[in-house]
Amino acid sequence: MNPWVAISSTGDRRGRALRLARAHDAVLRELLEDVRSEGQQVLLVCDTDGTLLWIDGDQQMLDDATGVHLQRGARWSEAAAGTNAMHDPVTGELLGVLDLSGPLQTAHPHSLALVTAAARMVEGMLAWRSAERVARQAEPAPSAFAIAPAAAGLRIAVLGRDRAVLGGVGLAGDVVLSRRHSELLVLLALRPEGMTAEEIAIALYGDFGKPVTARAELSRLRRVLGPRLLAEPYRLAARPRADFLAAGELAGAGRLGAALDAYPGPLLPRSEVELVVEAREALDHRVRSGILRTADPALLHRWIEHPAGRDDLEACRLLLALLPPHDDRRSSALSHLRRLAKS
């Protein structure tokens, strides 16, 4: 069974091989999980001349493939194998072929759809990388006052909302994620060193979480993130511009007014994922404790009007203790205190 799917770009054979490897690595690793579950199949990548660059899959099939010279460096002519003529999203030039092979009894209607989807994902990654290179060339030099370096283009907004909103280079406008993918994205932003499928499964679903379920969610998320999502371990390719990270850094730097401006509400307020809950409470504590330490009436007044601070009895009492008798804010603060005292 040889459903050949072409992918494309430019450069000499070594350059093409390296670019293919970078583009298809994460996609093929997940595709291999499905291939291995079916058994007796191998997945391979060839260049435009039919030279085999990469092969993996069932070990028995790999041994058998060696017997017919289906191995790295061997020439398997595209003229003999055929192509569906998918091309590079930028230049239109043919780069290579993605092939799923196995005995006739392993053939299944979903196999062609599986390998075609993988090739389209690789093509999308190549297009995204091209767009990102253009955007980087047009970006101004970073400000010397930036809090920390961030991933080129990727913006994440999760404060005061239950579903993350993504923006950035390579995305067709703002993208609203599902609640589960929003939680997953926050986990990845919190763990820049990466997480295994097992760790993600436990974090999202508890002790009975299954790695295969986590991998399926990660595969769906990669359709949005493309090469921004890396595997083994699963992690973001670079630090995102995440609103909850920025608000925490501003508070930690003592810029509490700016932190409040950047903090419209709690992090994914309805999420019950333990690591998300911990991050939500840690951010709230960092902002709140900083404001209480300043004993600044203006900041305290803003805090008790804030979604995260409107039930803060201690902050309300401190504000009233600091306000002079004829301050216009006393009446509203007193009303606020009476409400909290009754609850």
Please choose, from the candidates 247, 249, 239, 286, the residue with its C-alpha nearest in 3D space to the C-alpha of residue 264. 247
Which of 141-155 are b and which e, b meaning 16 or more Cβ less than 10 Å from the residue's Cβ? eeeeeeeeebbbbbb
Kindly state the percentage of the chain with pLDDT values over 90.
38
pLDDT at position 92 over 90: no
**With contact defined as beta carbons under 8 Å apart, do 158 and 164 qualify?**
yes
Judge whether 84 and 5 are in contact, CB under 8 Å. Answer: yes
Report the pLDDT value the prediction gives residue 200, as an integer from 0 to 100.
Answer: 95
Question: Does residue 6 surpass a pLDDT of 60?
Answer: no
The token pair that represents 302 in the structure block? 């803003």
**Spatial contact of 185 and 169, defined as CB atoms under 8 Å apart:** no
Q: Cβ distance 214 to 197 under 8 Å?
A: yes
Residue 254: what pLDDT? 92
What ranges in 139-196 are assigned the alpha helix state H? 179-190
Cis bond leading into 240, ω under 30°? no
Q: Which carries the bigger pLDDT value, residue 146 or residue 336?
A: 336
Q: Are 189 and 245 in contact (CB under 8 A)?
A: yes
Stretch among 85-99, 187-201, 311-325 having the lowest mean pLDDT: 85-99
The pTM of this model reads 0.61
Instruction: Report the chain's terminal Cα–Cα distance, integer Å.
Output: 69
Give the mean model confidence (pLDDT) for residues 277-289: 95
DSSP letters spanning 73-96: T-B--HHHH-------TTT----E
Burial of 101 (C-beta count, 10 Å sphere; 0-12/13-18/19+): buried
216 contacts: CB under 8 Å, gap ≥ 6: none
Share of the chain above pLDDT 70, in %: 64
What band does 189 get if pLDDT is binned at 50, 70 and 90? very high
Largest CA distance in the chain: 92
Model confidence at 231, pLDDT cuts 50, 70, 90, reads confident
Task: Tell me the C-alpha distance between 7 and 85, whole Å.
Answer: 8
- Looking at the predicted structure, is the pLDDT value of residue 28 above 90? no
Residue 177 has pLDDT above 90, yes or no: yes
| pLDDT at residue 248, as a whole number | 94
Judge contact between 271 and 203, C-beta under 8 A.
no
Per the rule left: phi > 0, alpha: psi between -120 and 50, beta: everything else, 274 is alpha
Task: Report the chain's mean pLDDT, rounded to a whole number.
Answer: 77
Domains of the chain and any CATH numbers: 5-135 (3.30.450.40), 155-241 (1.10.10.10), 243-342 (no CATH)
| Residue 19 binned pLDDT confidence (cut-offs 50, 70, 90) | low
Q: How many CA atoms lie within 13 A of 18 on its CB side?
A: 4
